[in-house]
């Protein structure tokens, strides 16, 4: 591509003037491409050489996207299985925190306090 064309200027050009906003600077299109190429395991230094050969570019990009999707799905499955295992191994409520009014087991002292207050509002009384 010729150096004077707008797409090349936009991708390879640098910002020479202006001011920086507070917080993180806004990402340029070039930065987003670099992040995507890295995630898809495509060399972001020589991507324009790959893109010059259309059939090779399609092959490289489809393999990269497939690999990225498999990795993403595996990560999601691992997170879900860890979350489910953590929920399955959750401790049962401590019998020391059981309601004196209805014998319901609570997980904490503050939970017991809140539950007993709601029991009293519903009209439960202490057993004789």
How do residues 51-92 score in pLDDT, each as one tens digit? 888 898 899 989 999 999 999 999 999 999 998 888 777 666
CB 119 within 8 A of CB 101: yes
Total domains in the chain come to 2
Q: Is residue 79 part of a domain?
A: no
Its domain, for residue 99, covers: 93-128
Indicate whether 68 belongs to any domain.
Answer: yes
Q: Is residue 66 part of a domain?
A: yes
Cα-only R_g, the chain: 30
Position 20 in a domain: no
| pLDDT the model gives residue 72 | 94
In this prediction the pTM is 0.50
Q: Are residues 54 and 4 in the same domain?
A: yes
Q: Which residue has the tokens 């489910």?
A: 84
Decide if 64 is inside a domain: yes
Q: Is position 126 within any domain?
A: yes
Q: For residue 110, give every residue at least 6 positions away whose Cβ sits within 8 Å of its Cβ, in sequence order, or none.
A: none
Q: Do 7 and 52 fall within a single domain?
A: yes
């Amino acid at each position: 591509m010729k150096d004077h064309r707008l797409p090349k200027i936009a991708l390879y050009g640098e910002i020479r003037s202006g001011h920086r906003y507070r917080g993180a600077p806004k990402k340029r299109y070039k930065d987003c491409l670099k992040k995507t190429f890295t995630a898809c395991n495509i060399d972001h230094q020589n991507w324009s050489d790959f893109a010059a050969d259309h059939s090779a570019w399609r092959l490289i990009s489809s393999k990269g996207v497939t690999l990225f999707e498999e990795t993403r799905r595996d990560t999601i499955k691992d997170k879900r299985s860890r979350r489910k295992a953590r929920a399955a191994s959750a401790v049962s409520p401590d019998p020391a925190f059981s309601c004196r009014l209805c014998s319901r087991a609570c997980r904490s002292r503050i939970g017991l306090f809140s539950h007993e207050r709601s029991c009293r509002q519903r009209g439960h009384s202490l057993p004789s």
